[in-house]
């Protein structure tokens, strides 16, 4: 479990395919503190298990399933990635609950620099739109962001300069794909509302009581 508050930008040192996926080695510094083999690290929003460590990086083993759902398949040496260690019970939840289980790939469309922030625009697959709401939370490449507006499959986020400059958002080019994880609470609400033994919980009930 993660918060979506990026701790460090790492650099891909090696990406090599094997029969059932790929090995990824990332160079970094801060996230190695207190990290041991078997720990989880979010790499561009994808929860990965550390299989080995060095003094200046770590390696993870990526499954074929993860490659098919995320942008990992396009990684190459020199690419920058957002890194975050798993949440501990003593850590502040500064972003929102991020599982590290990516739902889909979204497309980056544009960035507009305004006086005090940046407007970033992304495109979602149609089937994921129902989980995104205005002022709700969304994870983009592991970064906890707030949806500033949504219109069909297009959503916008307002990014402060600190977030823009200290994550890989500043590296994005129009047409680039990003890892998207929608708010896990929306998925639970959907599951509960559709359950066969649902006792009066409907979309109207949730709206009336401020849940959606």
User: What per-residue confidence (pLDDT) applies to 211?
Assistant: 63
Whether the domain at 8-85 and the domain at 104-188 fall into the same CATH topology: yes
What confidence score (pLDDT) does residue 45 get?
98
**Protein fold of 104-188:** Elongation Factor Tu (Ef-tu); domain 3 (2.40.30)
Nearest to 4 by CA among 77, 94, 92, 90: 94
Helix (H, G, I), strand (E, B) or coil at 164: helix
Q: What is the pLDDT of residue 92?
A: 76
148-204: per-residue pLDDT in tens?
999 999 999 999 999 999 999 999 999 999 999 998 887 877 777 776 666 666 667
Pull the structure tokens for residue 39. Answer: 């720990």
pLDDT tops 80 at residue 61: yes
Burial 34-69 (b: 16+ CB within 10 A, else e): ebeeeebbbbbbbbbebeeeeeebbbbbbeeebbeb
For residues 131 and 187, is the Cβ–Cβ distance under 8 A?
Answer: yes
CATH topology of domain 8-85: Elongation Factor Tu (Ef-tu); domain 3 (2.40.30)
In 3-state terms, the chain is what percent helix, strand and coil (to 5)? 20, 40, 40
The residue written with tokens 């006086």 in the block is 115
Quick one: pLDDT at residue 208? 74
pLDDT of amino acid 51: 98
pTM: 0.89
Check residue 127 and give its pLDDT: 95
If you average pLDDT over every residue of the chain, what do you get? 92
Average pLDDT over residues 17-40: 96
For the chain, the domains span 8-85, 104-188
Note the pLDDT tens digit of each residue in 75-131. Answer: 999 999 999 999 987 777 788 889 999 999 999 999 999 988 999 999 999 999 999
Q: What is the pLDDT of residue 212?
A: 61
SS3 171: helix
């Amino acid at each position: 479990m993660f918060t979506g508050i990026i701790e460090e930008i790492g650099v891909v040192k090696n990406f090599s395919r094997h029969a059932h996926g790929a090995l990824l080695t990332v160079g970094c510094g801060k996230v190695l503190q207190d990290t041991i083999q078997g720990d989880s690290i979010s790499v561009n929003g994808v929860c990965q298990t550390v299989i080995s460590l060095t003094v200046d990086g770590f390696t993870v083993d990526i499954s074929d399933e993860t490659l098919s759902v995320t942008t990992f398949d396009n990684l190459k040496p020199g690419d920058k990635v957002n890194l975050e260690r798993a949440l501990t019970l003593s850590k502040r939840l500064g972003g929102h609950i991020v599982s590290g289980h990516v739902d889909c790939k979204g497309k980056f469309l544009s960035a507009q620099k305004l006086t005090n922030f940046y407007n970033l625009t992304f495109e979602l697959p149609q089937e994921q739109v129902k989980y995104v709401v205005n002022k709700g939370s969304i994870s983009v490449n592991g970064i906890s962001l707030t949806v500033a507006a949504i219109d069909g499959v297009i959503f916008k986020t307002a990014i402060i300069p600190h977030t823009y400059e200290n994550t890989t958002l500043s590296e994005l080019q129009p047409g680039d794909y990003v890892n998207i994880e929608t708010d896990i609470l929306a998925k639970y609400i959907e599951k509960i509302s559709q359950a066969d033994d649902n006792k009066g919980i409907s979309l109207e009930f949730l709206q009336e009581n401020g849940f959606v």
